[in-house]
Copies of this chain bind each other. A is one copy, B any other.
């Protein structure tokens, strides 16, 4: 029997291919590995999605929503800008239909330039994700830029502390592939 866990990463750094993106993807990979499944991961770089305007052309937005809906876990990455999450991330969340994240386990990851700002994006982001219906069973990963060179160690500590609770949350309602076989 194979657990078919789909993880989606969405990142609101207005710079394409940002360190926030690679950090969020690394967290998604660590979660996938931690819950002992064969995870399938996809990644949405909002700097790409909104390159040509706040109304993405060519069905790009609908495609992104489909990716999120296909996943059980959504890793939401943002740098801390002006004492909160980025506007680019919120622009995308604003366009989601109500309750779009119901049934989705969300895990925020934030990257701040200064210690003072380390907790601010998370503090404001979690109520927004909750408003969209996401489940937030574990603490966010909040990093300072100066900690990024030690990312593997930070991921290891975070995963050790929070994978069991995450696994429990995911066990609830998980669709198993091949169960009928």
Complex contacts, A92 vs chain B, CB 8 Å: 87
Complex contacts, A52 vs chain B, CB 8 Å: 52-53
**Which residue on chain B has the smallest CB distance to residue A91?**
B87
- In angstroms, Cα B87 to Cα A171, docked, is 33
Contact yes or no, A128 B54, CB < 8 A: no
- In angstroms, Cα B94 to Cα A85, docked, is 9
CB distance from A16 to the nearest CB of B (A): 11
Contact yes or no, B94 A81, CB < 8 A: yes
Residues 44-62 of A at the B interface (beta carbon under 8 Å): 47, 50-54
Residues 35-77 of A at the B interface (beta carbon under 8 Å): 47, 50-54
> Out of B54, B81, B124, B167, which one reaches A84, CB within 8 Å?
B124
Complex contacts, A115 vs chain B, CB 8 Å: 114-116, 118
Which of A24-32, A133-141, A147-155 participates in binding chain B? A133-141
**Which residue on chain B has the smallest CB distance to residue A100?**
B82
- In angstroms, Cα B164 to Cα A164, docked, is 17
Residues 138-176 of A at the B interface (beta carbon under 8 Å): 138-139, 164-165, 167-169, 171-173
From known contacts A119-B120, A137-B169, infer whether A82 and B87 are also in contact, taking CB-CB under 8 Å.
Answer: no
- In angstroms, Cα B88 to Cα A54, docked, is 8
The answer to the question of A130 belonging to the interface, with a C-beta cut-off of 8 Å to chain B, is: yes
A residues near B (Cβ < 8 Å) are 14, 47, 50-54, 81-94, 96, 114-120, 123-124, 126-128, 130-132, 135-139, 164-165, 167-169, 171-173
